[in-house]
Amino acid sequence: MRSYDFSPLYRSAVGFDRLARQLESAARSSQENGWPPYNIETTGEDAYRIEIAVAGFSADELNIEAKENLLTVTGKKATEATPADNDGATKRTFLHRGLAERDFERRFQLADYVVVKGAALANGLLTIDLKRELPEALKPRSIEIATGSTLIEGEAKKAA
């Protein structure tokens, strides 16, 4: 796998260090093992949904954390107590083990002003709903256009 050196961006550009970190992060994350699989879909204007296949995990074994522009989903499988041979409990013996029950951590870089609205676990899918919520100061607003006479009257009042 190729690795890219983004350090020249840090030296020659001011204020683009976040972009360089995102590029480095994307290069590192492309080398991940790809487990667990996930879908990202748009569910409306400025609304998104992430679905992660977490078969075999319970809600207690999953953790979702949103910090700044990073959403981190982790799964830690609870260790099963091995039954003692003398208590009469049967030990599980697998002929084939295809369900991966290993711990995982999946990270998603979120755009500015994207917040987590909720999460649900059903049928082995963890669903996380996201929405972009712009602050009022950033939303477009209509500016009233003053006519010539209104503008002059307004300036006269300021001068008085």
Two tokens, residue 12: 């020659």
**pTM score, whole prediction:** 0.64
User: Is 4's pLDDT higher than 50?
Assistant: yes
Task: Render pLDDT for 74-128 as a digit per residue (tens, 0 to 9).
Answer: 999 877 655 544 555 678 888 998 877 789 999 998 988 899 999 999 999 999 9
Tell me how far CA of residue 118 lies from CA of 12, 13, 64, 107, 126, in angstroms: 41, 38, 10, 17, 11
Residues 6+ apart with CB under 8 A from 17: 9, 10
According to DSSP, residue 93 is labeled -
The string of pLDDT tens digits covering residues 11-36 is 555 565 666 666 666 666 555 567 89
66 burial type by CB count under 10 A (0-12 exposed, 13-18 middle, 19+ buried)? middle
Query: How would residue 7 be classed by pLDDT, with cut points 50, 70 and 90?
Result: low
